């Protein structure tokens, strides 16, 4: 059974419909890429899964249980962690405190402060500095570390590479591969297609709030992806 099963998901911001009948499944331990242009609904999709948006109960199932529409903090209890777009580090908290607040719900698991510092030595060096003093790449590491501290079963990462230099993005994807290798189920939303296709087992392309293409990266050609991304 898949860890995450989304069925006919429609999502609205007030009167505006942002997602149209999205269906997809993510198996446990898989890394899935969600790609698409700006405004295609990728972040909305993550928000719907994480409990940020109200959606029908049956539309999102986690390990078989219907969890659609449960509020974000409850989804954390159930093991869903969202690393939000733009990092959103807490300015009033130090690096260490940012990580600790990620463990607010005290879910047990292998991700402790020590392990996160091992994964990201740069964060350990800066542990007492205000979280927002870090560079963009370091803040992204902090955001990912913060998500890991909750020992989630499902890690959702929104636009990890946004605004970061290619060298940094490459490092982050190496880290992501390490996390995935330990068995973490991950959904990565990206505008930059090339990097994410290397780590993903499945890719879904969104366009105008609907899934325009699905498949394994090896099976999909550049041309097909471009067509699904931009519209033929």
Partner 1 sequence: MAWVDTVLQGLLLGGLYALFATGLSLIFGVMRIVNLAHGDFSILAAFGAVALVDALGWNPLLALAAVVPAMALAGWLLQRVVLNRLLGQGILPPVLVTFGLSIVIQNALLEAFSADSRRLDPGGLDTASLALGAGLAVGWFSLVTLLVAVAVLVGLQLFIGRTRLGRALRASADDPGTAALMGIDDRRLYALAMAVSLGIVAVAGIFLGVRTTFSFSSGPDRLLFAFEAVIIGGLGSLWGTLVGGCILGVAQTTGARLSPGWGILTGHLVFLAVLLLRPHGLFARPRRSD
Q: Which of residues 138-167 bind partner 1 (CB under 8 A)?
A: 146, 150
Q: At what angle do helices 136-148 and 166-181 cross, to 10 degrees?
A: 10
Q: Which is nearer to partner 1, 130 or 215 (CB)?
A: 130
Residue 76 parent element (H or E): helix 72-77
Among 29, 37, 56, 105, the residue binding partner 1 under the rule CB under 8 A is 105
E-strand ranges in 46-168 read: 60-62, 65-66, 80-83, 154-158
**By CB under 8 A, residue 93 contacts partner 1:** yes
Closest approach of Cβ 128 to partner 1, in Å? 13
Does the protein bind partner 1 through residue 81 (CB under 8 A)?
yes
- The residue from 52, 113, 193, 220 that contacts partner 1 (CB under 8 A) is 52
User: Residue 72 interacts with partner 1 (CB under 8 A)?
Assistant: yes
CA dist 141 and 102 (Å) reads 13
Say how far apart CA 214 and CA 33 lie, in whole Å.
10
Work out whether 100 is an interface residue with partner 1 (CB under 8 A): yes
Closest CA to 191 of 206, 177, 172: 206
What does the binding site for partner 1 look like in residue numbers (CB under 8 A)?
A: 50-52, 71-73, 76-77, 81-82, 84, 88, 90-93, 97, 100-102, 104-105, 146, 150
């Amino acid at each position: 059974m898949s860890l995450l099963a989304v069925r006919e998901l429609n999502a609205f911001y007030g009167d505006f419909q942002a997602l149209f009948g999205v269906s997809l499944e993510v198996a446990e331990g898989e890394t899935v890429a969600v790609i698409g242009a700006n405004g295609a609904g990728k972040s909305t999709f993550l928000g719907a899964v994480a409990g940020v948006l109200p959606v029908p109960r049956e539309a999102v199932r986690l390990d078989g249980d219907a969890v659609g529409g449960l509020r974000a903090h409850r989804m954390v209890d159930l093991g869903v962690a969202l690393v939000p777009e733009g990092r959103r580090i807490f300015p009033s908290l130090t690096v260490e405190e940012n990580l600790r607040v990620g463990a607010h719900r005290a879910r047990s698991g292998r991700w402790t402060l020590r392990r996160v510092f091992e994964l990201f030595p740069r964060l350990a060096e800066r542990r007492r500095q205000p979280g927002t003093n870090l560079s963009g790449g370091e803040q992204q590491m902090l955001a990912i570390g913060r998500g890991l501290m909750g020992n989630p079963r499902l890690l959702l990462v929104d636009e990890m590479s946004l605004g970061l230099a290619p060298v940094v993005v490459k490092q982050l994807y190496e880290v992501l591969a390490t996390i995935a290798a330990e068995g973490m189920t991950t959904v990565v939303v990206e505008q930059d297609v090339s990097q994410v296709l290397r780590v993903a087992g499945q890719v879904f392309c969104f366009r105008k709030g609907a899934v325009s293409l699905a498949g394994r990266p090896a099976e999909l050609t550049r041309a097909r992806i471009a067509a699904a991304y931009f519209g033929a």
